[in-house]
Amino acid sequence: MDTLLLETAAATDEDTMRTVNATDTTIVVISDDRTLSRSLEAVCDFLDLPIEHIPSDADVSVILSREQPMAIIVDVDGIGQDGFNVMMTVSYYNRDLPLMLLAGGHPALIGAADAIQELWGLTDVVTAGPDLGVGELVDFCLKARQKAGSARLLQV
């Protein structure tokens, strides 16, 4: 099974995050790890899905109040805010929004994610470890696309 390289690399000053313009066909990635963002971008480009990157210190509530992303992928240990805070914020806007939490495979974090998902009533959370396979990511994105009502055939 192919595996994405999920190396940890903090965003540097020359790394820029684009202004979020998420629509119901956009995957929003909340992470300061530019290596991760580039890996995810390659998969989303293959699937012909728009992707927007935002830093972990961005105000997710402002984004969700203005935009309707198709799904969110968030790093559990973001510098500005962690994935658990993002889960809580998402629960205020859309409990059915597909959310992939990159937990790094630590059992305590995975257990905490499950507990928070139940606490906030989130219905579509996937917790991924460090060995996130390309197939898992493609599956998550295609299910999110289908849920958003924008499923279509892809040319290969």
CB 106 within 8 A of CB 97: no
Residues 35, 155: Cα–Cα separation, whole Å: 27
Check residue 72 and give its pLDDT.
92
pLDDT one-digit tens code per residue, 66-92: 878 999 998 887 788 788 889 998 998
Domain membership flag for residue 102: yes
Question: What value, to the nearest 5°, has the Cα angle with vertex 17 and ends 14 and 21?
Answer: 160
DSSP letter string, 8-29:
--BPPTT---PPP---TT-EEE
CATH code (residue 35): 3.40.50.2300
21 located within any domain: no
**Is 154 within a domain?**
no
Range of the structural domain that residue 95 is part of: 27-147
> Is 9 a domain residue?
no
Whether 82 maps to a domain, the answer reads yes
- Segment (H or E) for 35: helix 34-46
In a domain, 137, yes or no: yes
Q: Is residue 6 a part of any domain in this protein?
A: no
Instruction: Quote the number of domains for the chain.
Output: 1
What's this model's pTM, rounded to 2 decimal places?
0.77
42: its two tokens: 């390659």
Question: Does residue 139 sit within a domain?
Answer: yes
What pLDDT is stored for residue 149 in this prediction?
Answer: 80
Below-50 pLDDT ranges, the chain: 1-22
156 vs 154: CA distance, rounded Å:
6
pLDDT at 65: 82
Contacts with 129 (C-beta within 8 Å, 6 or more apart), sequence order: 103, 104, 105, 110
